[in-house]
Amino acid sequence: MVTLALVRDTFREALTRKIFWVLFGLSTLMILFFLFLLKIDIVAGATATVSLFGRPTRGSPDVNRMVRGVYGGIATFLYTFGMFLAVFASAGLVPSVLEPGRIELLLSKPLSRAHLLLGRFLGNILLVSLNSIYLVLGVWTILGAKTGIWSPVFLIAIATTTFIFAVLLSVVVLIGVTLESAAAATMITVALMIISPILAQTNLMMRLLSSEWSRNLWRALYYTFPKVYELGKMTLDAIQSGTFAGFTPIWTSALFGILMLGAALWIFQRRDF
């Protein structure tokens, strides 16, 4: 019951922030786009005429490929811009709880500090995953109904976006409890997102870097930081080809997230307010 109250409180506070509404608004726009503007008439099996804005597109595209393309686009949106908005919107949710005058009262309640912080963490993840579920499930249902293609592999985007968001949120929480700054939390987390595709070029760098220690340093960085880019790419590959390869990016990212969250809890336990 206490957890539920903490989650609800996180929702209530998050929804006072406009960025969450922007995120939900964009998702809604996309769903409406596929609902009303994309008209697909299946003629025979794989070929069909597709009309966009009421006008038929030239040629007869392969419906299967087109649907996968759309799924890929949605996943990419969720993964990049959506993730950025979600991080940006969530960055203030921990520092705001720690404000003098607010935290004392929360700490005076009969719950542990870990419970308090994890309740916030959970609420935040739930809110962002609800957006993923809404968008992915919405588009999936609409395209499924219009084309008859019900490929469940698209739903994997819900799991991967939620997972990576949880990993990034652990950094947001750690910076929140140490620096109490939403701006710092956003900057550092976005930096992690941006360096991820660079660090992912391991094969190339192994050839370019001259010394052994610099190669080891690169590997260490690569294995330490969350693999935002690679998980995104794995999601796209899964959608396009139906295969999901390699679990190293998942567990190394999970480990990173657990360590960050653990550090955040440890520091939060010991602070004076």
Partner 1 sequence: MRVDSEYAIETQDLTKIYHARWSGGEVRAIDGVSLRVPKGTIFGLLGPNGAGKTTFVKTLLSAVRQTHGSALIFGRDASDPEARRPIGYLPENHRFPTYFTGAGMLDFYASLSGVSASRRKKLIPEHLELVGLSQWGAMRIGKYSKGMLQRLGLAQALIHSPSMLILDEPTDGVDPVGRREIRELLVRCESQGVTIFVNSHLLAEIETLCREIAILHKGKVALTGKMHDLTAGKGYRLTVTKPSDALTEELRAKATSMAARDGLIDFQFPSRELVNTAVDLLRAQQCEIESLAPTTSTLEEVFVRTVEKK
**Binding-site ranges for partner 1 (CB under 8 A):** 1-2, 4-6, 8-9, 12-13, 16, 96, 99-112, 270, 272-273
What are residue 62's phi and psi, to 5 degrees?
-75, 115
Contact 98, 180 (CB under 8 A): yes
Residue closer to partner 1 by CB (options 98, 209) is 98
- Phi and psi for 50 in degrees, rounded to 5? -115, 125
Taking the least distance from each CB to partner 1, the nearer of 179 and 258 is 179
Report H helices in the chain: 2-14, 18-32, 63-77, 83-90, 93-97, 103-107, 113-147, 156-179, 182-199, 202-208, 212-224, 228-241, 248-270
- Residues 6 or more apart whose CB falls under 8 angstroms from that of 118 comprise 265
Q: How far is the CB of 179 from partner 1 (least distance, A)?
A: 13
Place of tokens 């976005």: 190
CA dist 189 → 19, 142, 165, 228 (Å) = 17, 34, 10, 11
What is the Cα 82 distance to its own chain's centre?
A: 7
3-state secondary structure of 231: helix
- Whichever of 59 and 110 has its CB closer to partner 1, that residue is 110
CB of 180 to partner 1, least distance (A): 14
Tell me the closest approach of the beta carbon of residue 137 to partner 1, in angstroms.
28
* Closest CB 106 distance from partner 1, rounded Å: 7
Q: 41 vs 99, which CB is nearer to partner 1?
A: 99
- Comparing CB distances to partner 1, the nearer of 65 and 271 is 271
- For partner 1, which is the closer residue by CB, 112 or 241? 112
- Minimum Å gap between C-beta 269 and partner 1 is 9
**Rounded least distance, CB 20 to partner 1, Å:** 13
